[in-house]
Amino acid sequence: MDRDEVDSSIRVLLEPFNRKNVEITAATTFAGDLEFDSLTVMDFVAAIEDEFDIIISMNKQAEIETYGELVDAVCELTKG
Amino acid sequence: MSEGVNQADRPLVRDADQSGQPRDLFSKFDDVIHTRETLLASGVEDPFGLVMEQVLSPTRAICNGRDTILLGTYNYMGMTFDPDVIEAGKRALDDYGSGTTGSRVLNGTYAGHKAVEQALKDFYAMDHAMVFSTGYQANLGIISTIAGKGDYIVLDIDSHASIWDGCALGNAEVVPFKHNDIVAMDKRLGRIPAGAGKLVVLEGVYSMLGDIAPLKEMVAVARKHGAMVLVDEAHSMGFIGEHGRGVAEAQGVIDEVDFVIGTFSKSVGTVGGFCVSNHPKFEIMRLVCRPYVFTASLPPSVVATAATSIRKLMHGSNKRAHLWENSKRLHGGLRELGFTLGTDEPQSAIVAVIMPDLEHGAAMWEALLHEGLYVNLARPPATPAGMTLLRCSLCAEHSAEEVETILGMFERAGKAVAII
């Protein structure tokens, strides 16, 4: 799966969590722009993990602040 | 005081973005400070500043000047005033002094520490027992030490702060799953790379809502994936299970659990924490577990009271039965009154009453206190899903009449603040 495919899959998964219809760019932040609280993060991460059959540990999540970083991380985790 | 002096006394709040100066380290607490100030400005009694001036019994105290029924302690089995327990503590004070002034691995292991560990081994019928200075340190120490770099910890998202802090102190990969969700746990365990060490961390009773974990199923799933299992039974010890060993015993899987974590500060009625295990190499933990090594051991009087209490809890089946009666009556009575509760059925000695918001919760808490009843007001981040809760924890020493009195207090307070 290339980066564009990962990107478009994640965009679909993000939709129900993007309650204020914030425009999503690589620089969009989850805590700031999307106002994700810890429970939303858990549900959103679980949706991505199930879609790509990967684990995004809390340690990894701590390094991810923006949408672009998330797409990069999922690309990396699905490579292996 | 002059205006000039007043100005100089005001703490400087610096903002790095504007001035390039370092930011005030306390600015990160501004939201919490604001929430607290708003709450207190409404005139409510400070829910987090209660003082018990006199403690009359496990279930009664003088709180902020009022004679109060205690329904918010973890004194589930009412052991704090047990005459044998008190006597053991006094004797240990006389015989061994007030404190050990040292680590367990140096000068801090007295006969009493070995005796309380033996009491735990007998209580749980396990090979090894290790006593920590608090329950918090037991989780902190065991979790951070056994799960290291490259290992995976799979844990329930509603885990206690001491479990999360144990994860944060160690170097393992931390993977949470949705509360009590067996399928979510199974999936995450299945995705862990082959060869990695796996530790599943669960609790018997989750203390905020008082609900229990489906340990039978979860332990089986963990075993299927070759994971070790740690269960925190802090809120079930002494009460749940035939011998009071906890939810894992009640569900018939305690032999499949590698580590049981517990505390002396609930049913046992003093302070301290422990881990019991049958792992053949368990004793090495005493040398490698930093929250065990680098702190002073418990005072002799504390371990003496704990050992006496634990041995008495082995024969506590009548008290356990009465506590279940209390829990069922309070749960059913509150439901009849129209309160929203954290569980459909009583599952533990904790009955959580869900409040619509912090303002109503604080008002209800205060109305109950004025009625002469103390409960815990619990709010985020301690609670799941941003809930405000009034947490009632019952004691085996609450009489049936006292439970009826408590229900009457809830009815009057609930109507006064328009929650029911």
Please give the pLDDT value at position B18: 62
Closest CA to B177 of B168, B167, B189: B189
Which residues 235-264 on chain B approach chain A with CB closer than 8 angstroms? none
Residues on chain B touching A57 (C-beta within 8 angstroms):
152, 173-175
Report d(CA B399, CA B58) in Å as an integer.
Answer: 12
CB atoms within 10 A of CB B58: 21
CATH number for region B50-77+317-416: 3.90.1150.10
Q: What is the pLDDT of residues B164-174, one digit of tens each?
A: 999 999 999 99
Treating both helix axes as pointing N-terminal to C-terminal, what angle do A67-79 and A38-52 enclose, rounded to 10 degrees?
30
Q: B44-57: string of b/e by CB count within 10 Å (b at 16+)?
A: beebeebeeeeeee
Owner of token pair 């490698």:
B288
Is B349 in contact with B212 (CB distance < 8 Å)? no
- Domain B81-313, CATH: 3.40.640.10
CATH 3.90.1150.10 positions along chain B are 50-77+317-416
Q: What is the DSSP letter of B384?
A: G
Residue A80: predicted pLDDT: 61
**Cβ(B156)–Cβ(B199) under 8 Å?**
no
What pLDDT was estimated at residue A39?
A: 84
The pLDDT score that the predictor gives to residue B56 is 97
Contact A46/B at CB under 8 A: yes
Closest alpha carbon to B212 in B240, B242, B189: B240
| Amino acid sitting at position B55 | V
* Residue of B174, B187, B192 with shortest CB distance to A50: B187
Distance from CA of B341 to the nearest CA of A (A): 21
Cβ <8 Å between B174 and A57: yes
- Cβ neighbors of A54 (< 8 A, separation 6 or more) are A48, A74, A77, A78, B191
Do A55 and B175 make contact, defined as CB atoms within 8 angstroms?
A: yes
- Give me the domain span that covers residue A59: 3-79
Domain count, chain A: 1
Helices (H), B59-160: 83-96, 111-124, 135-146
| Domain containing residue A68: CATH number | 1.10.1200.10
Residues of chain B with CATH 3.40.640.10: 81-313
Nearest CB partner across the interface for B191, out of A43, A53, A58: A53
pLDDT on residue B17:
56
Whole-angstrom distance, CA of residue B195 vs CA of residue B158: 27
* Residue B22: DSSP 8-state: P
Contact A55 B176 (CB under 8 A): no
Judge: A37–B386 Cβ closer than 8 Å, yes or no. yes
Tell me the mean pLDDT in the region B314-324: 96
Please tell me the predicted confidence (pLDDT) of residue B319. 96
Assign B19 a pLDDT band (cuts: 50, 70, 90): low
Strand partners, B106: none
The answer to whether B58 and B51 are in contact (CB under 8 A) is no
Segment B351-405, tens digit of pLDDT = 999 999 999 999 999 999 999 999 999 988 778 888 999 999 999 999 999 999 9
Buried b (16+ CB within 10 A) or exposed e, B66-81: eebbbbbbbbbbbbbe
Question: How confident is the model over A36-47, as pLDDT tens digits?
Answer: 988 899 999 999
> Where residue B92 falls among pLDDT bands split at 50, 70, 90?
very high
Q: Is the pLDDT of residue B350 over 50?
A: yes
B157 touches chain A (CB under 8 A): yes
Give, to the nearest 10 degrees, the angle between helix B111-124 and helix B300-313: 20
Q: Identify the pLDDT of residue B386.
A: 83
Residue B62, phi then psi, degrees to nearest 5: -95, 110
- ∠ CA(B41), CA(B43), CA(B49), 5° rounding? 90
Predicted TM-score (pTM) of this structure:
0.93
* Tokens (6 digits) for B88: 């053991």
* Pairwise CA distance, residues B36 & B49, whole Å: 12
d(CA B268, CA A36): 40
How confident is the model at residue A38, as a pLDDT? Answer: 83
Instruction: Encode pLDDT of B202-226 as tens digits.
Output: 999 999 999 999 999 999 999 999 9
Determine the Cα–Cα distance for residues B179 and B343; give it in Å rounded to an integer: 14
Using the beta-carbon criterion (under 8 Å), do B385 and A37 form an inter-chain contact? no
Q: Render pLDDT for A59-79 as a digit per residue (tens, 0 to 9).
A: 999 999 999 999 999 999 998
Instruction: Name the residue of chain B whose CA is nearest to A58's CA.
Output: B174
Whole-number percent of chain B with pLDDT over 90: 88
On whether any CB of chain A is under 8 Å from the CB of B187, the answer is yes
**pLDDT tens digits, one per residue of B134-158:** 999 999 999 999 999 999 999 999 9
Residue B36, chain A, CB below 8 Å: the answer is no
Judge whether B60 and B68 are in contact, CB under 8 Å.
yes
